[in-house]
Structure 1
Amino acid sequence: MITEFTPWASLIGGLLIGGSAVLLMALQGRVFGATGILAGFLQPNGAKDWMWRAAILAGMVTGPTLYMLITGVMPAVDVPVSRVALIIGGFIVGIGVTYGSGCTSGHGVCGMARLSPRSIAATITFMITTGITVYIVRHVLGGI
């Protein structure tokens, strides 16, 4: 299985994520951690807190629609594993986010930019675990 090389889409996506993280920190004084944003949205601590979380989540959901309006096609989302593997992976990620006190956006983007030792260690752990998981799924389990 070969993964497509998409440098321009990756660059634009990275700039959007980084810019969003900077704006959220500058305007709200908050770290852009997607799982924390979702958790706070589901368990709001107040109307002001809920509104900025709702705006970010709405942007995440409407982004593909805006892309379609500009380009005329929906962005391709190719998930090369079975639905069962996707569900199991989601639970495993949820456990990791809980024990790691954050996700790749919180630790990998914001924490590393702040040179947080905890975030650097978490991101290294994410990357090593991801590499091992991809190897096992693709080469040991045959792509599930």
Structure 2
Amino acid sequence: MQEGNRGPEARETAGHSREDIQQCTVCGADDELRVHHLDGRRENTEAENLVWMCRDCDQNVNTESEESTTWNNHAVVLPDEISAKIDREFIRLVCVCRRDLGWRPDKTRHYYPLVAVDGVFAVGRMTAEAFEERLVELGLR
């Protein structure tokens, strides 16, 4: 397994040795893994802020968003800052739901509807359990 080019201090802070790393938190790939900072700040090396991602998932999360997104055939134009927040929060929820609950939310079926109803900032404060509970309340899970 080949690791990405993230600093060794982040890997050590994450509490994972090469032997512990098995797969990307998002897609399950087992090669080209690197440390991803959930809040987007490399200086935050707290263990709960760090997850393993493959090169492709990490790049998808870190690339700048397009100007518009389509939700149920409705074009939504968002400022880059808000679009980036939405993307980061989705990745965070994917990671915590997979880690804590053993399932992966779908962006279109689970995440976007909840963001539309509750707002990205409210969703951003949810734990995996609260996210799943809210989805059940709305009949989305």
**TM-score for the superposition, normalised by structure 1:** 0.28
Q: Could you say which structure has the larger radius of gyration?
A: 1
- The answer to which structure, 1 or 2, has the higher relative contact order (CA under 8 A, 6+ apart) is 1
**TM-score for the superposition, normalised by structure 2:** 0.28
- Identify, as 1 or 2, the structure richer in strand: 2
